[in-house]
Structure 1
């Protein structure tokens, strides 16, 4: 199996590298020391004194070898890197034309080489990289982390078109990188009737440039709508949902136990529904363990607050493991201690687990047990035939058996891959089954019963996972 497919289709357990390339003052305050007021956004920073020197020093020091090593030593296999459109100007200066950043080429031109270096460094540690366009021309949400202050102007025609231009450059330059797992085309956009149409035309554009590159879309806080949208697309489209329970007053009034109970019940049912609409192509690209909006709240017993966060965080991870193809904590680290929103601090405080996924055991060979495979496929095939034959109709049950075998064998190809410190697991099962179905239909012919192959594939992959985890 190609290494690129391992990175793109495995289950992602990750962290956001927030405020590394695109900065946020609540995460890293010092770079804003000479920014223009209100000193909250990249544009404010770039408009201040010594901006180029300040930014480049930050880009070169925020993530060190020790940071990459720490992530590897805790089972992380994917990082999400938020960037702004202006960070691409070092590759193509035209991305700045007609924007409020048009005069800032010299400030941001050094970012592109750092982005490429980040991807290459991640590759050395076996990390996949999701590139996230956090800041689009005209800004797509009202918050300064979208690159600048002021109103949302993304939905003006020129800005939507310019964003597509930026994304086409990113797709062209990054799709051959083995460890780039996808391109998130817009972070947290304010929902708008124009958004689905823009998503559709952008996906069409990027598919023409890089047909195999997974495209990630944020759900604009409407997961039902965009899960259905993603499920209707033939391409590899992934829905990114961000789960926070700290911004609303109604959330602040609930205890951690109450939040955890909601996650185990209502939210679990909701997530299963979303996943069902989009072939399981859903991740939680941002979440944290915070239960208040005051990131550095000095009040209360810190030990008890961490206990509350731990209860909430465990329910989050359990939910994501059951229903999602991936999840990424926001954020990896901050310039101050925060056990709710800084992964490194949260792990050190016991709020988040010390390891994500299944730790590789050195010297232990990973291979399929032929006897267990034979037992599993015969039992599953027998039960499948009994179930469907009772309902009548014309079937091709042998396709189920073919699918089961492929699902089982491919699951073990992921388990035995070398990428990263944790065991790779097939995460985007529905999408990979769909891809394998193309090969199957070419070899065995098309049919109205191709769905039997997909059913078999999913069941085979699930059975292999259960057998592997029980034995490893």
Structure 2
């Protein structure tokens, strides 16, 4: 249920993987340029750095935050960590830290993982899932300081140490998967955050997936793995679509921002919002294409309500323009993805409706609840339960007519069982206040079970199942 449901979430940015613009107070004694975890650890002696970081880990996200998230429809959080937060926790991982940028800071970070463990368990107590995101890999997978260091070198893919860094990263991912798969509410593991589009990225993904899937622990072997698309979106959408199955659930992560490029700056807030109109917007069509290529296994791992001032300069009401932009994203992601995670829950400084989810909700830029099922807009479960066969009847007749015309005649009982199973599953999710998210993965699991019972018409079951999920959702919001 945790892994396969619709993930409506936020990022807990700069709780562990630090960013100076979000939590500047942690960087007061950091080494220049005062931008990364490594700068913080390098700017103080061991005891001072340990004290500063552990105080931050213990207080930045608190019980009030968890209660607020739950009450505002958040069902999952994406938790960015750097490799040092994990491997410094136990001496058995010391070889994985050797030779890395954080090799001399094990003592500073030795208490980090116990805090991550506490966070996962706290989330579970609120029925909130956790996506563990390896935000910083050995050597760095991008040029940005949020990967843990500020030198701008992408040594996971470039330079003499790249081969060793990739091997170490895969070993860390295997150990990390082993560590988190036992938590019921861990929804998946993101292999690396925002990697550069390097020629060896795909082979890195293949090697990491193979290594994790080789685990003798069945929970590890079937843990959903999330792959950043390196903004080479259609390529990795096809990769996920062709490699993901019931035994190898893969999900593509696309990050969508519209505030960084010159084109973003010169595009009005109104046009940004129109591009995500679910009926005709070109960005909405792009998302639909990703959904089609991945079989629905696509999330928006990062997005925000932020716009450049250039997009707002001619707006009659900047607040209304921001609201239209924020809401258009939310509605498109609800329509075309299996989940989304706002960047970020909270940040230091004054109110910021572009980047702080708290402020965005307070200012009406985002809805009071991310979960539309918390409103009264949907049908009640009892009514839906009784509507199954009525919804199926015209679709079943169409299915039978088409395949009978192709000389594939029969009772088409597989289709009926598939449709009814999907309806039953959808009702089960609804009882938990949610909907299926990774629909294709759920379908493949159910189809595999159907086929294992000796049925020969699994393809009809699969067709019926997918139509059942689609019909249920359509009726749910009528």
Q: 1:170 to 1:127 in 2, by over 3 A?
A: same
Quote the RMSD (CA, aligned, Å): 2.1
Given that residues 86 and 95 in structure 1 are in contact (C-alpha distance below 8 angstroms), is that contact kept between their aligned partners in structure 2? no
Match of residue 348 from structure 1: 362
Give SS of 1:83's match: strand
Equivalent of residue 281 in structure 1, options 294, 297, 311:
297
Question: Mapping of 1:61-76 within 5 angstroms?
Answer: 61-76=59-74
Q: 1:103 to 1:458 in 2, by over 3 A?
A: same
Alpha-carbon displacement from aligned partner over 1:65-113 (angstroms, at most 9, x marks no partner): 1111111111000000000000011033333111011000111111000
Give SS of 1:79's match: strand
Q: 1:331 to 1:301 in 2, by over 3 A?
A: farther
Count of equivalent residues: 453
CA distance in structure 2 between the aligned counterparts of 1:57 and 1:303, rounded to whole angstroms:
44
Equivalent of residue 172 in structure 2, options 144, 153, 166:
166
Q: 1:395 to 1:330 in 2, by over 3 A?
A: farther
Question: Mapping of 1:171-182 within 5 angstroms?
Answer: 171-182=177-188
CA distance in structure 2 between the aligned counterparts of 1:62 and 1:371, rounded to whole angstroms:
47
Q: 1:225 to 1:370 in 2, by over 3 A?
A: closer
Question: Mapping of 1:224-235 within 5 angstroms?
Answer: 224-233=234-243, 234=245, 235=248
Alpha-carbon displacement from aligned partner over 1:218-253 (angstroms, at most 9, x marks no partner): 000111010111111131000000000000011111
Match of residue 15 from structure 2: 20
CA distance in structure 1 between the aligned counterparts of 2:179 and 2:315, rounded to whole angstroms:
46
Match of residue 310 from structure 1: 323
Question: Mapping of 1:213-252 within 5 angstroms?
Answer: 213-233=223-243, 234=245, 235-252=248-265
Given that residues 403 and 409 in structure 2 are in contact (C-alpha distance below 8 angstroms), is that contact kept between their aligned partners in structure 1? no
Give SS of 1:401's match: helix
CA distance in structure 2 between the aligned counterparts of 1:67 and 1:16, rounded to whole angstroms:
12
CA distance in structure 2 between the aligned counterparts of 1:395 and 1:183, rounded to whole angstroms:
43
Equivalent of residue 202 in structure 1, options 197, 208, 232:
208
CA distance in structure 1 between the aligned counterparts of 2:437 and 2:83, rounded to whole angstroms:
29
Match of residue 132 from structure 1: 133
Give SS of 1:456's match: helix
Give SS of 1:263's match: coil
Given that residues 4 and 442 in structure 2 are in contact (C-alpha distance below 8 angstroms), is that contact kept between their aligned partners in structure 1? yes
Match of residue 425 from structure 2: 410
Match of residue 460 from structure 2: 452
Q: 1:360 to 1:316 in 2, by over 3 A?
A: closer
- Residues 1:37 and 2:32 aligned together: yes
CA distance in structure 1 between the aligned counterparts of 2:43 and 2:386, rounded to whole angstroms:
68
Query: TM-score w.r.t. structure 2 length?
Result: 0.91
Give SS of 2:78's match: strand
Match of residue 400 from structure 1: 415
CA distance in structure 2 between the aligned counterparts of 1:186 and 1:38, rounded to whole angstroms:
24
Given that residues 367 and 416 in structure 1 are in contact (C-alpha distance below 8 angstroms), is that contact kept between their aligned partners in structure 2? no
CA distance in structure 2 between the aligned counterparts of 1:334 and 1:435, rounded to whole angstroms:
40
Alpha-carbon displacement from aligned partner over 1:101-127 (angstroms, at most 9, x marks no partner): 100011111100000000000000110
Q: 1:394 to 1:204 in 2, by over 3 A?
A: farther
Given that residues 138 and 152 in structure 1 are in contact (C-alpha distance below 8 angstroms), is that contact kept between their aligned partners in structure 2? yes
Moved more, 120-129 or 262-271: 262-271
How far does residue 392 in structure 1 lie from its aligned partner after superposition? 4.1
Equivalent of residue 473 in structure 2, options 460, 465, 470:
465
